[in-house]
Amino acid sequence: MKLHTFETIHPDLLPGLVNTALRNDCDDLEDLCRTHDLDQERLGARLEELGYRYVAEIRQFRKVPAKQEG
């Protein structure tokens, strides 16, 4: 799968594909974006739309817990 098409990758697949590439092929998010010629801000924004945020300490996009009302 080519990550440069991240904007059209199915939302259920994108976080896993990005995290797999981070784990197997790249040192961090910056390296991932450089390696795959991605716009880091656009990738981050797309994943945030899906409810994920990059956690540098573990080099993964993680699901952001939903805010609880009350």
Number of domains in the chain: 1
Q: List pLDDT tens digits, range 1-54.
A: 689 899 999 999 999 999 999 999 999 999 999 999 999 999 999 999 999 999
Confidence (pLDDT) at 2 = 84
> Is 36 contained in some domain?
yes
Q: How far apart are CA 5 and CA 48, in angstroms?
A: 17
Confidence (pLDDT) at 68 = 63
> Is 9 contained in some domain?
no
> Is 3 contained in some domain?
no
> Is 39 contained in some domain?
yes
Provide the whole-model pTM: 0.89
Residue range(s) defining the domain that contains residue 50: 14-62
> Is 1 contained in some domain?
no
Q: Which residues contact 8 (CB under 8 A, 6 or more apart)?
A: none
> Is 34 contained in some domain?
yes
